[in-house]
């Protein structure tokens, strides 16, 4: 079975930024380090399936039958060494290890709250075993509790594509590419950046995009992303990961993908007032990501 076709934007924080009561458990989880970029999405899918298969289903993955969070979810973390974060500006990252909790229960609560707002009554009746009011109350309870580690969820994700404004956060030259067989866990594309650099890049791109496109579209994505990043410790690291999307691209596409270069070139072109360069780069991005949009429509 292929990995879920999901891409991720993650924040890894220093251990000291977490609630003191969680630090011993997170320290132990960091030492175990059983998850990596190639296996984490399958682990999340397994948690969801486990929550749905029993006769008495759980509303959210990562919780007990009584609706309280499972103690095992504290162990569901990704770990990053500050030395593995490109840092040409020499800003402070760490100290390590840097921890990214999967926050699966909280992320699922947010997604479920959005689903009940947009889904049709017939779909809700078949897929959600409790009332809409109960879902909203549950989401508020989970997202407002200690599971969000005081700073909100550490991961945002999208299916089938990567929001183009996310590429503004990273230095194109720091891309990590591992080519392997299509469904291999080793097949990866990702970027890492110091939090201070990610915030600076987001603020600059947002200012230029607002001036050019107004407050909606890419400007809103950059605004929301910037506000999300501000929740976390300033010495954290940010990671953009193609996740399971690498299975949708052949080796040549994977190696020659220039999305980060193109988006950053658009930011430079906006600043320089170079409309021709902007148009050329947008055309490249549309051609590359359009092929994945077609796959989504026919899936």
- Write out the H or E segment, with its range, that includes residue 64: none
Residues shown for the chain:
299
Give the pLDDT confidence score for residue 146 in this predicted structure: 43
Q: How far is CA 2 from CA 5, 39, 185, 188, 240, in A?
A: 8, 11, 10, 14, 20
User: Taking the chain (299 residues) in consecutive chunks of 10 residues, what is each chunk's mean pLDDT?
Assistant: 89 92 86 82 76 62 68 79 92 92 81 74 72 73 58 86 96 95 91 97 96 90 95 96 94 95 96 95 93 74
Q: How far is CA 5 from CA 9, 17, 125, 158, in A?
A: 14, 31, 26, 9
CA triple 40-45-46, angle to 5 deg: 95
Structure token pair of residue 97: 């290890």
Strands (E), 70-169: 77-80, 98-101, 155-159
Give the pLDDT confidence score for residue 114 in this predicted structure: 74
Q: Residue by residue, what is the 3-state secondary structure of 267-283?
A: HHHHHHCCHHHHHHHHH
Give the pLDDT confidence score for residue 2 in this predicted structure: 81
């Amino acid at each position: 079975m292929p990995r879920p076709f999901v891409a991720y934007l993650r924040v890894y924080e220093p251990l000291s930024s977490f609630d003191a009561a969680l630090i011993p458990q997170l320290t132990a989880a960091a030492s175990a380090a059983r998850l990596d970029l190639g296996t984490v999405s399958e682990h999340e899918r397994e948690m969801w399936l486990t929550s749905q298969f029993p006769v008495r289903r759980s509303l959210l993955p990562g919780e007990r039958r009584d609706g309280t969070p499972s103690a095992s979810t504290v162990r569901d973390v990704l770990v990053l060494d500050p030395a593995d974060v490109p840092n040409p500006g020499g800003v402070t990252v760490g100290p390590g290890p840097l921890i990214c909790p999967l926050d699966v229960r909280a992320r699922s609560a947010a997604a479920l709250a959005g689903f009940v707002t947009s889904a049709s009554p017939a779909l809700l009746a078949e897929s959600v075993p409790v009332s809409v009011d109960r879902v909203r109350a549950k989401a508020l309870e989970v997202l407002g509790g200690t599971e969000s580690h005081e700073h909100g969820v550490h991961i945002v994700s999208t299916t089938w594509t990567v929001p183009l404004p996310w590429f503004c956060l990273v230095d194109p030259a720091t891309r990590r590419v591992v080519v392997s067989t299509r469904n291999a866990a080793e097949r990866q594309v990702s970027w890492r950046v110091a939090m201070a650099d990610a915030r600076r890049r987001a603020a600059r791109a947002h200012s230029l995009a607002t001036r050019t496109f107004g407050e909606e579209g890419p400007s809103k994505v950059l605004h929301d992303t910037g506000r999300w990043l501000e929740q976390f410790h300033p010495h954290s690291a940010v990671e953009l990961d193609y996740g399971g999307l690498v299975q949708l691209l052949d080796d040549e596409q994977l190696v020659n993908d220039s999305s980060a270069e193109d988006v950053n070139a658009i930011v430079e072109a906006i600043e320089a007032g170079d409309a021709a360069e902007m148009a050329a780069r947008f055309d490249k991005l549309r051609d590359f990501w359009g092929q994945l949009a077609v796959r989504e429509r026919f899936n």
